[in-house]
């Protein structure tokens, strides 16, 4: 324990407080210190496939956990500037739920680009017409707004029913 990096730093601080000069011995001990941070890169990242069942899941809570997995925050080697995330398949999104009165009151806007082209739709109508959009918009809003976020978003696959075409990837079930 007496040759560990923290012990060496402690000795150096004691010497520097007693005398204002550091000795050559302390500098040689200092060269033994190696505090390096390991950063993930494209070669070291391991990508897994997960499947999430949206039946009776609250939209916001489920999407927040999905966004964390897409970013790679569930891994020990998470690096903010590298796409460390996994692939996520979401099924049964037509059976998700909202808390409170959001199903009748939450409004989704769409702009066509033309004057007066604002289209509004409440959540209950959107979930009947295109239930995938509900989850996609929620997760996309929780990812970074840059190239890296767009790269992470491409690893999300959302399906209204139970079936999905990604059986060959052998996805594991992601429990919340």
57-84, pLDDT tens digit by residue? Answer: 999 999 999 999 999 999 999 999 999 9
Distance CA 131, CA 93 (A): 6
Asked if 27 and 9 count as a contact pair (C-beta separation under 8 A), the reply is no
Considering only residues 91 and 7, tell me which one the structure prediction assigns the higher pLDDT.
91
24-58, pLDDT tens digit by residue? Answer: 556 666 666 667 778 899 899 999 999 999 999 99
Distance CA 86, CA 160 (A): 21
CA distances from 107 to 44, 64, 100, 120 (A): 42, 20, 14, 6
In the chain, domain spans:
1-36, 49-173
Torsion angles phi and psi, residue 71, rounded to 5:
-75, -25
Q: What is the pTM of this model?
A: 0.78
According to the model, what pLDDT value does residue 38 have?
80
Average pLDDT of the chain is 88
Distance CA 14, CA 172 (A): 54
Would the pLDDT of 14 be above 80? Answer: no
135-159, pLDDT tens digit by residue? Answer: 999 999 999 999 999 999 999 999 9
Distance CA 143, CA 139 (A): 7
CATH superfamily of 49-173: Ribosomal protein L13 (3.90.1180.10)
Would the pLDDT of 121 be above 80? Answer: yes
């Amino acid at each position: 324990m007496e040759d560990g990096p923290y012990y060496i730093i402690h000795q150096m601080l004691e010497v520097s407080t007693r005398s204002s000069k550091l000795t050559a011995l302390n500098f040689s001990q200092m060269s033994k210190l190696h505090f390096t941070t390991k950063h993930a890169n494209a070669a070291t990242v391991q990508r897994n496939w997960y499947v999430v069942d949206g039946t009776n899941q609250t939209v916001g809570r489920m999407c927040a956990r999905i966004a964390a997995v897409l970013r790679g925050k569930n891994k020990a080697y998470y690096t903010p500037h590298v796409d460390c995330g996994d692939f996520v398949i979401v099924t049964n999104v037509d059976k998700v739920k909202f808390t409170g009165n959001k199903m009748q009151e939450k409004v989704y806007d769409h702009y066509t680009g033309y004057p007066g082209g604002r289209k509004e739709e409440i959540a209950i109508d959107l979930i009947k017409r295109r239930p995938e959009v509900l989850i996609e918009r929620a997760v996309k809003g929780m990812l970074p707004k840059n190239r890296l976020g767009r790269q992470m978003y491409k690893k999300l696959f959302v399906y209204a029913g139970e079936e999905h075409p990604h059986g060959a990837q052998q996805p594991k079930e992601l429990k919340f």
